[in-house]
Structure 1
Amino acid sequence: MTASTTPSRGPLLKTLLSLAVLGMLRITRHLPLSWLRALGAVLGWLLYALVGRRRRIAEINLALCFPQHDAAQRRRMVRQHFVLFAQAWLDRGWLWEGSAEQVRSRLRLRGAVHELQSTAPTLLFAPHFVGMDAGWIGLTAHVERRFCGLYARQRNPVMDQWMAEGRRRFGEPHIVAKSAGLKALVSALRAGEPLYLLPDMDYGPRDSVFVPFYGVTAATIPSLSRFARMGGARVLPILSRLTPEGYDITVLPPWQDFPTEDVVADTARMNRLLQEWIDETPEQYYWVHKRFKTRPAGEASFYR
């Protein structure tokens, strides 16, 4: 074969690496949770040392959001975040392939759990804490009803299949592709399927509004307000916290006086409440994402 017709080794290597990672997770999921968390701590320290680009993003985010802390305090927060991130990543092995008994025993639902049985159209606001996947599994494993969730196809087909199957393992959830558009999601809401949303990242300028997040202007998708209005739905926050015993998944009471006629004010309210929850366990929020990537016209990037 000529160079132009030789098959690329890239996809094959990615497939082999993915299979190796899945093989490791299928072995480590049998470990006692304390051992698995110790392994995650080691992996987190390695990631902190080796993945400089993501470390720098987290440092910039924390400098913007917690200017009252000095540089040494923020470095400790970043190191702890990498540990928690790695521990939560390893936990996907037992979350998606462990026994049902094991999964349910490690995921504890707390708070206004009874609200999940309501037939009223419901939006579940699930912020990007490291335990976000545990939150979804906890709901579908413990609550006997059908939930609706969004799914973005992964580029790697091996990981895509594993993630998709893992998120479908309990309760026969209704999974909607992000490309399906609003109609499918609104229909699910009106049919009584609680919709699990994670709208607190920077998804670019399209359909976003600029509202404060820790006092910094941040592009934010106003989907909670818009879906609540279109589907006549209420909002229940779902907070997932990693603990030594597994995860605490807290269901907060429904928001009052939401939505209003002002989608920007509604979205600013979402960010204000999110700040309060982050302040309780700041290291567990997803700081390796470029939360302030999209800037207003003429404003320089923070991440250069």
Structure 2
Amino acid sequence: MSQQQSYIPGEFRWEFLLPKYWKNWIAIIFLISLAILPWAIQWRLAHGLAHICWSLLRSRRKTTLRNMEVCFPEWSPAEVETNAKKVFIDMMLGMFETLNAWYCPKWFKNRHHIEGLEHIQNAQAQGHGVLLLGTHSTLLDAGGYLCSQYFEPDVVYRPQDNPMLDMFIYRCRDTIYKHQIDHDDMRGLIRRLKDGGAIWYSPDQDFGLKQGVMAPFFGVPAATVTAHRRLLKISKAVAIPLYFYRYGDIRNPKYKVLIEPIVENMPSEDEVDDAIRVNKIIEAQLRIAPTQWMWFHRRFKTRAEGYESIY
């Protein structure tokens, strides 16, 4: 059992009052204060913070630019840079949207709608659990909150190394998700699927080939996880694509939750074919709002034999 999981998730510990955690408390109080600001101020702060991050986080900036260059070859260098900067803006906006979801959820009232809810409802009515194939959206937990207005979502999460930060995030998320499942708790994940849960799962990052296969992502070979195939096979759950995004006037935004039909014959007998299908689903989702994804992750860090490093 890892250090950060040697306690009950979300549990307060008296040691959190020690001086070494005071900086964390100050940061938390500061973040809560940001949540009560009007959107117009949050919007301006997000743009300012994005500009600072673009200037200071050189590695993340280079990764974002490179990812967009290879995934959108039809874009000019100027278009790549413009959209890469928007990724940083959307990330900062997503931080404020998440704070609003945690502390001021009424801000989202009359700002959202859903399409395709019947796909989840029909699957659960037939006794199936649902693995929601989503992405690492810049909306963060704001997307989870939007989903929770229509159905009861569960989420797979990776515990924080800082136990106090882990407690804080877990408690905030507890207001949104029915269950939070540790990414290492495969038994718990399978149990929830067998119980008919709807779990948000994002197979869109590079975890190497020990947990996946090479499959094209925007036409570029990429290590693609295959764990969801085992989850679906063992639990008899179904795979349903899920996407949520911001649209309209960014100064007065709206939000949409898009749920697509069940992915038929998933898992199939061919894990590479399944990986290709999942990547195509994610590609189609990202083309709807290209800058609302975490492009600063090294999606192509694992290279196929004979291919040069992208980064």
TM superposition score normalised by structure 2: 0.84
1:280 partnered with 2:284: no
The RMSD of aligned alpha carbons is 2.2
Question: What's the offset of the Cα at 1:80?
Answer: 0.8
3-state SS, counterpart of residue 132 of structure 2? strand
Aligned equivalents of 1:126, 1:272: Cα separation in 2: 12
Match of 2:86 among 74, 80, 90: 80
Aligned residue pairs, count: 286
Percent identity of paired positions between Structure 1 and Structure 2: 24
Structure 2: state its 5+ residue gaps. Answer: 1-17
Q: Return the alpha-carbon distance in structure 2 between the equivalents of residues 66 and 14 of structure 1.
A: 45
Task: Answer yes or no: is 1:253 the counterpart of 2:261.
Answer: yes
Partners of 1:36 and 1:90 within 8 A in 2? yes
Conserved? CA contact 2:95–2:140, under 8 Å:
no
**Structure 1 residue aligned with 2:230:** 226
Which among 233, 239, 243 is matched to residue 239 of structure 1? 243
**SS of equivalent to 2:136:** coil
Change (3 A) 1:132 1:261: farther
1:12-91, aligned counterparts within 5 Å? 15-91=21-97
Partner of 2:3: none
2:184 to 168, 172, 179: 179
* Structure 1 moving runs of 4+ over 6 Å: none
Q: Which residue of 2 aligns with 1:4?
A: none
Question: Which sections of structure 1, spanning at least 5 residues, go unmatched?
Answer: 1-11
The alpha carbon displacement at 1:260 in A equals 1.6
State the partner residue of 2:100: 94
Q: Name the residue aligned to 2:176.
A: 170
Q: 2:110 and 2:210 mapped to 1: Cα distance?
A: 39
Change (3 A) 1:167 1:57: same
* Cα pair 1:134 1:240 within 8 Å, conserved: no
**Aligned residue number for residue 303 of structure 2:** 295
Residue by residue, what CA displacement relative to the aligned partner does 1:223-281 show, whole Å, maximum 9, x if unpaired? 33332222222222111112433532222222233332112101101111211221222
**Shift in Å at residue 97 of structure 1?**
2.0
Asked if structure 2 preserves the Cα contact closer than 8 Å seen for 1:109 and 1:251, the reply is no
Residue 300 of structure 1 and its aligned partner are, at CA, apart by 4.0
Residue 165 of structure 2 aligns with which residue? 159
Question: CA deviation digits over 1:186-232, x for unaligned, max 9?
Answer: 22111111121011111223211100001111001013333222222
1:208 matched residue in structure 2: 212
Greater shift after overlay, 240-249 or 162-171?
Answer: 240-249
SS of equivalent residue, structure 1 residue 212: strand
Match of 1:116 among 112, 115, 120: 120
Answer whether contact 1:151 1:178 (CA < 8 A) is retained.
yes
In the alignment, is the contact (CA less than 8 A) between 1:55 and 1:288 conserved in 2? yes
CA distance in 1, matches of 2:68, 2:201: 24
Asked whether the 8 Å contact 1:124–1:236 carries over to 2, the reply is yes
